[in-house]
A and B are shown apart, each in its own frame.
Chain A
Amino acid sequence: MKKVFMALMAVAVLVGAVYGAPKAKVRIALIIESTVDDKGWGQAMHDAIMAVQKKYGAALVEYNYSEKMKPVDAGSAARQYASRGFDIVIAHGAQFKNLVLELCEEFPKTTFSFGTNAEIGPKNVFTYMPMSEETGYVNGIIAGMVTKTNVIGIVGPVDAGDSARFNRGFILGVKAVNPKADIKVAFTGSFADYVKAAELAHTQVKANADVLTGAAQQATGALRAVAEYKDKPIWWVGQDTLQITMPEGFKVIAAASYDYSAVIEVMIDKRQAGVLGGESIPLSFTNKGFVFKYNDKVGAVLTAAIRKAADKALADITTGKLKIDWAPVKY
């Protein structure tokens, strides 16, 4: 345990040393299709920018955002931000790829960013890609050890992007500790249909699943459905730590979150060094792009053995000892 702690500390010191305060004022704009308080995708990026702003002060980091932007509306918002002199315009979603690629030529001095996407974009476009197989794997370890029925359910939005990586990492995590577990993967076909996510969660429970997980903002609907089985041992492992603090948190054993602060800080640093884009920034445990929390109030279900196994996986991933080969996983 001491070695693990030392390794984590070493990585933390290395990562922490990378970023410095901006040398001049940076103006950041965020465009999202959902809202900044969606307890999911949009809020994770908003909170990260707010954290960076808090760290360096509003005098150095100016921040504006536009919510509920469909791709057709987002173009005019992004254009306004760019023409008003914003330095970094983040269109948070892969659906904004085309508009970013179009605008980046018109505003060559503005840094644009969109994700999730691992492609290397034009020289003034950063992409970012959460390596969600890592959070999926740790959650999978917990799910595999918690299940009594040996049936585990995934409430997915669509099988693409970081959700696809999360699911596959989750399956690898479960199989690492419980090879006999039956993992039922199903999708709602939507990121924001909370009702359908709840319907799918109920379907999973009827099929005997006793541990569920899911990504995207719709996961709140699935967690709400799990909370309806108040007195039954049906549990949730989450992809957003805010779920632990929700009224339904009594069902959440542990959860991971994206911390986009690392992405924001890299973009600020690179831009001030004259690099406006042309890179893809990963989000991982190693660069502190993920946060992982246990729910200490969940009770006896979270045993010391589970914590130990999850901690070990977390440490091995963080130090690079454990590489998760998620791509070949089929379901």
Chain B
Amino acid sequence: MVNFLTNILILGVPFSVALLLAGLGEMFNQRAGVFNLGCEGIMAMGAFLAFMPPYFLAGSMPAGMANLVGILVAMAAGALMGLVFALVTVTFRAPQGIAGIGLHMLGWGTAGTLFRHFVGGVTGVPGIQTLPIPFLSGIPFLGPVLFNHNPLVYLAFLLVPAAWYLLFKTPWGLKVRSVGTYPRAADTMGINVNRVRYQALALGGAMAGLAGAYLSLAQAKMFADDLVAGRGFIAVALVYFGRWHPVGILGGALLFSLAQSLQLSIQVAGIDFPYEFAVMLPYVLVIVVLALSGKSKMASPTDLGKPYNREQRV
């Protein structure tokens, strides 16, 4: 029984990383007043672009360097897609929902098309290997659960306090929160609302790109058309689940991935439970918790989803 539970935790922690990274990025978007449903498409592009350097540069540069190049390219492309989304929704004030779906289709389609053109069929790369942390990885129970993963897992968990600090303890974080809550007041105080929203969307895009890179380089170590498989949309839902707070998003990502790990382990253990219900478990759990946490004190950014026009009378 102890082994069963330990294995659920060991597997659940790395499963959560893509959701956590994308969720933290989406949190910055939404805190600035813009929800980006294109997160899934950015993740697809990130997964594809991160995959390309290790695939093509294998043998001509160290694998670690090729992975790093892939990650940086994925983040840069994610930031660029975030800026494109900002141009459409912040400058041109297009409806954010429709624009997000468009960005999703653009990223998903472009990644798949370019992959088939340059690579062809489904194939893998060595990817990012596990990096056990000396001494800590040897601690019974905690070692394998927390300190025996690939470097992106550690990075993702370190980004939680970093995101909290950035959002709640820096002037830029205050600007982000103010343009998402009451942009007119922020504008009156001399804050350039559009610029802050552009910056937040670029940051959110970069983190979605990193989440995609995690999927292709660390989790699956391969690329295929449908690699992201809805995880971008789950990340958007987790921001609501986490009440727009980094710790809440971490909790949501862990809850989802541990439920995922639990349902897979239940099936493998041969427990007599219909698998159709088992695979639904993580999604049902998130919906239930989301419904029950509706009256949490942490309210949503009040201007979420509304384009800002300083010329418009309130």
Contact = CB atoms under 8 A, between A and B. Distances in A.
Contacts, number: 105
Interface stretch (A79-87, A220-228, A269-277, A293-301): A220-228
A43 B121 contact: yes
A189 B276 contact: yes
A39 B11 contact: no
Contact of B229 (A68, A195, A217, A246): A195
Contacts of B121: 37-39, 43, 242
A189 B275 contact: yes
B223 to A, nearest CB: 9
Interface string B4-44: 00010011000100000000000000000000000000000
A221 B122 CA distance: 9
Interface in A219-246: 220-221, 224, 227-228, 242, 246
Interface in A189-212: 189-190, 192-196, 198-200, 202-204, 206-207, 209
A43 B225 CA distance: 14
A195 B279 CA distance: 14
Contacts of A196: 229, 260
Interface in B188-238: 215, 219-222, 224-227, 229, 231
Given A39-B122, A202-B11, A207 B222 contact: no
Contacts of B227: 194-195
B261 A35 contact: no
A214 to B, nearest CB: 13
B279 A37 contact: no
Contacts of B226: 192-194
Given A35-B116, A43-B121, A224 B276 contact: no
B134 interface: no
Interface stretch (A141-149, A180-188, A260-268): A180-188
Nearest to A191: B226
B11 A203 contact: yes
Given A200-B264, A203-B11, A195 B220 contact: yes
Which of B10, B229, B231, B269 counts the most chain A CB atoms within 10 A? Answer: B229
Interface string A305-331: 000000000000000000000000001
A43 B120 CA distance: 12
Nearest to B6: A206
B270 interface: yes
B267 A187 contact: yes
B299 interface: no
Contact of A203 (B7, B229, B276): B7
Contacts of B264: 186, 199-200, 203
Interface in B243-278: 260-261, 264-265, 267-270, 275-276
A192 B270 CA distance: 23
A228 to B, nearest CB: 7
Contacts of A199: 11, 15, 219, 260-261, 264
B60 interface: no
B268 A186 contact: yes
B262 to A, nearest CB: 10
Contact of B279 (A189, A194, A204): A189
B143 to A, nearest CB: 15
A159 B275 CA distance: 9
A184 B265 CA distance: 10
A247 B124 contact: yes
Interface string A124-146: 00000000000000000000000
B312 interface: no
Nearest to B10: A206
A206 B7 contact: yes
A35 B225 contact: yes
A194 B222 contact: yes
Contact of A220 (B222, B260, B269, B276): B222
A184 B220 contact: no
A52 B264 CA distance: 41
Closest 5 CB pairs of A and B: A189-B279, A186-B267, A37-B121, A203-B264, A206-B7
Interface of A: 34-35, 37-39, 43, 68, 153, 159, 184-190, 192-196, 198-200, 202-204, 206-207, 209, 217, 220-221, 224, 227-228, 242, 246-248, 331
Given A39-B122, A221-B220, 10 more contacts: A35-B225, A43-B121, A184-B269, A194-B229, A195-B227, A199-B11, A200-B267, A200-B268, A203-B264, A206-B11
30 contacts: A35-B225, A37-B116, A37-B121, A39-B121, A184-B269, A185-B270, A186-B267, A186-B268, A186-B275, A189-B280, A192-B229, A193-B226, A194-B122, A194-B222, A195-B227, A195-B229, A199-B11, A200-B264, A200-B267, A203-B261, A204-B268, A206-B7, A206-B10, A207-B265, A224-B221, A227-B124, A246-B123, A246-B124, A247-B124, A331-B270
